[in-house]
A and B are shown apart, each in its own frame.
Chain A
Amino acid sequence: MVARWALAVCLVVACGHDHGPPKVRKLDPRDKPDGTPALRGGGPARSPRIANYKLDARFDAVRHQIAGTETLTWTNTGASPVDKLPFHLYLNAFKNEASLFMRSSHGESRLAKASDSGWGWITVDSLMLGGVEQVAKLRPVGLPDETVTELPLAQPIAPGQTVELNFKFTAQLPEVFARTGYKGDFNMVGQWFPKIGVRTGPPGLEQWACQPLQALTEFFADFGTYDVAITVPTTHVVAATGVLVSEVESPGGTRTYTFHAEDVHDFAWAADPFMQFKYGLAHVDEGQTVKVQVFYRPEQEAFATRHLQAAIGALEKFSAYFVPYPWSVMTIVDPPPDAAMGAGGMEYPTLVTTAGDSVFVRPGVKLPEFTTVHEVGHNWFQGMLASNEPEEAWMDEGINEWADAHVMADLYGARTSGIDQLGFQAEITALRVALGEDPASLPQPIATAAYAFVDFDTYASASYEYTLRALLTLEHEVGSTKFLAAMKAYAKAFAFKHPTGRDFYTTISAQLEQDLGWFFNPVFQQVGGMRLSIRSAECRQAHGIRGLNEAKKTVLEADAPDTGTWVCEVVVQNTGVVHVPVDVELRFTDDSTQRVHWDDRGNGTFERFVVEHSTKLASVRLDPDQKILIDSPLDHAYRLEGDGAASLRASARIASWAQTLMQVVGP
């Protein structure tokens, strides 16, 4: 009997959520194609549509393998001829340990680890150009890495000329650890087809930008249209970029879903036998609403609701802050918890993956919401403003983080945007400032190419947090209304283009009608940050001048008695390279305050303030309104008389815990 019970317990413990065997799925009527255009309300092309793809993918759910065909229509929109075509073969990053990605990541990506058995790869089986087989001419760039291959052209492609290339390829998904791959029955399929690079540079001097995939780099591609047919077993449901245009039963127990997307620069999809959709509508402007859908497994229902609300809120807020969301649909894929570390938290146009589902993340902890808001936000900063992620990661990650801070505060409250649980509250940006690395200690500036960062921590601190903190600081300095207007103008100017850092600096400076070089240069181009602190603060009793006077008579303490007032001297210093004007609040023992201002732009690295007051100085606070976020605020406040009361209270708590443990181990 006991053995039976033990066996039953073991079985229950060993199994997770048991979904049973996959069953043939019938689509929810809301999933049926309804003729919704890819662009909200239809209308003309929003982008140059340089690279247009027609893809056909037949998915083997057992081997997690795709047999694909691809028709790429590419136009040379530059002013110089093209004599070679480079293609990304991203999945080869997971082919072996010789790939640049594996060498630079050591098989780890954002806390997820590569599996020893689930390697991924892609092979081009055929490439036709002008009716001629070209596959033998393909040559990998940068062997042993195989994530980029080049096709030399016998006949250069002239400016304005369009070519059509036909691929046949086989793609094997890896076990997911870096955005794409499978985990159990769940499949997240990103960067899965041969994808052409981007020509950048001034007219006539264009160069290919087609970086091999490294540990810290992401993706860069041209806008275009995508028509993608995905054939999967009828047991599986598919979520994908764009709108569903047809759904056809195919022989052999398969079903073909066809998706169409316009003015996007990537196409990703997910397939799973157990997932379902949850829907909502976002009102982003006066026009047609956006259909927002979350793709999740039943046990994640509660989190799916949170993601859906966050996504709708994010779409509406981002649209208001920048430009209205242009597409008809937004899909959020909520990966199963065991796949979330590898597949979660990634952005693709109109489809993002989220994360953060855990029993430890109670409703008051906004981690899942933040993940969704951040990824949805990427549909602006990278989806529409398609900056070069490998070269300027801060332009999508950092600017997006700055926008996220606003959106989170709008959606969840300024003081509770991070945590609102058990009486504890924290604003998400303040929490990140507290937990993040001090920008002044970073060894590389923000404007460093992603692949050139010394390690992940530096990349993340510089590209995400330091940029967020810098933009908030600049916003506080110039005024929120003006800065938001400038950012909106930047978004409008560069939507569906490839903006660079220089575009950003010049647009913001022009919009704010001031040369912001004093800020942008040291913050984005230099190391050293801001190191603001109170060097000294002390008070002396005021009295007349003692010593020898003009009559050579000695004036003693009795002749020049104390006046009863205090002369207080405060020295403030900034030993960093970034100089932002700062307020200094002096609080006296009678609880009165006095503010002084220090603008150290070009005025040295320290300032001495001398004030006379009827009572002594009690404390000094730098930046009392907390406008400066690029410096650690820990020692921005200083009290002249030490006070150990708080330490005693904290220690009492420690002692209480210690006594509890004593009672466990002792009599």
Chain B
Amino acid sequence: MVKGGKKPLDLRITLGDLLGSGTRALTRYTGTLLTVFVVQSLVAIAAMLACAAVLAQAFAHLPVWDEAVDGDLVSLALCIRFAKANMLACAGIGFGALLLWQLASWFLAGGVYGVLAQRPEGRSETARCFGASGASTYLAYARLALCALPGYLLVLFVFATCAGAMLNRIEHALTVGDLVLPVAVSLLPALAILHFLWTVSDYARVELTLRHESHDPGALATYLRSVGFVVKRPLTLIHASLGWLGFVLITVGYMWLSTGHPMFGAEGAVTLFVIRSGVSLARLAIRFAVLAGQVDLGGSRALPPRRVEIKAEPKAP
């Protein structure tokens, strides 16, 4: 192994540049964004159909379930008590879909980073780039996920510790004012660490994608280098947090607007599906824009050490 060339951090890239990268990527690679969204929706729809089959098996003949779904608390309590196993099965299906998506996301994220890094022209070239990049970095991303695991355990530990210390306060809170501080103390440290770790993972992925062919960096070394990079460039955290802020605002906004507006019947169900899909697409677009900014900023990083393999040449006969 030999050391790679060191270059100073490029401090000229600003938050405005990163946001600009995001909007450019959204307009230029809308098809890529939609592809990821369609795949994600397909996973969600598959989960939905599986859950529907499980629930219908228990409730198709019981009108009380209709009332429960329409928001009648008493009916809902009855149904949950009656069909605990079916409810657990639905939770299991949801969890399974999440795991499946996690596995698929390594490929999809690799593809997205590849497209954003290589900036291919044309639909077919973009598709080829997406598939090739996703496939080539898949295992590296999987190894990266393993490297990130201890960090997530730390997040859990911090959350458990803080929440444990605050539990009594939360339990006995009388007003929202009483609740704010203990909840913040319970959540914010863990969320801050989680945000840091997710940003580190993002930049590690960028590095693995950008330098995969030229430097073939190791997952652990990349992860650790990315920790250093994120620490040195707080802009990375600010940029990513803006993305999460948008994500939360859209989600909370949707919840706020939908409260008290139940949509009954088939027409309502279709309307709801369209609105939910729109919300999901908007959130995914934000995430996509953040990834684009990360690729630009990640490209400014110092090159990683190059791994050299010496292969023995077979002797000529």
Contacts and interface: CB of A to CB of B under 8 A. Distances in A.
Contacts, number: 204
Interface in A300-352: 300, 302-303, 336-338
Interface string B282-312: 0110011001000000000000000000000
B49 A651 contact: yes
Contacts of A204: none
A422 B260 contact: yes
A637 B174 contact: no
Nearest to B49: A651
Given A359-B176, A655-B48, A431 B62 contact: no
B66 interface: yes
B94 A657 contact: yes
Nearest to A648: B52
A647 B56 CA distance: 5
B61 A424 contact: no
A430 B67 CA distance: 14
A663 B48 CA distance: 16
A610 interface: no
B90 interface: yes
B74 A655 contact: no
B47 A654 contact: yes
B102 A666 contact: yes
A656 B269 CA distance: 12
Nearest to B110: A667
Interface string B263-275: 0001001001100
A430 B74 contact: yes
B174 A633 contact: no
Contact of A655 (B51, B108, B109): B51
Nearest to A10: B185
A619 to B, nearest CB: 6
Contacts of B93: 654
Contact of B47 (A12, A658, A666): A658
Contacts of B45: 655
Given A16-B172, A632-B78, A650-B51, A663 B284 contact: yes
Given A642-B56, A655-B48, A434 B179 contact: no
A430 B64 CA distance: 13
Contact of A634 (B43, B82, B108): B82
Given A644-B56, A666-B108, A634 B280 contact: no
Contacts of B175: 299, 302, 359
B41 A659 contact: yes
Contacts of A336: 172
Given A652-B269, A659-B40, A644 B60 contact: yes
Given A427-B74, A646-B59, A434 B69 contact: no
A666 B101 contact: yes
Interface in B70-93: 70-75, 77-79, 81-82, 90, 93
A464 B73 CA distance: 22
Nearest to A661: B98
A665 interface: yes
A633 B73 contact: no
B118 interface: no
A637 B108 contact: no
Interface in B157-194: 166, 168-169, 171-176, 178-179, 181-182, 185
B: contact size bracket: 35 or more
A521 B185 CA distance: 57
A661 B251 CA distance: 11
A3 interface: no
Which of B48, B49, B104 has its CB near the most chain A CB atoms (within 10 A)? Answer: B48
A426 interface: yes
Contact of A299 (B72, B174, B283): B174
B48 A654 contact: yes
B8 interface: no
A657 B40 CA distance: 13
B276 interface: yes
A654 B73 contact: no
A360 B175 CA distance: 8
Nearest to A299: B174
A419 B77 CA distance: 13
A492 to B, nearest CB: 35
Contacts of B51: 647, 650-651, 654-655
Contact of A638 (B62, B168, B179, B280): B62
Contact of B69 (A435, A649, A658, A661): A649
12 contacts: A337-B171, A426-B74, A433-B74, A639-B63, A640-B61, A642-B61, A647-B59, A655-B44, A655-B45, A655-B51, A660-B283, A666-B102
Given A12-B181, A338-B168, 9 more contacts: A337-B171, A424-B73, A646-B55, A646-B66, A650-B55, A652-B272, A655-B45, A662-B40, A665-B105
**5 shortest interchain CB distances as A-B pairs:** A642-B60, A666-B105, A655-B48, A647-B55, A337-B172
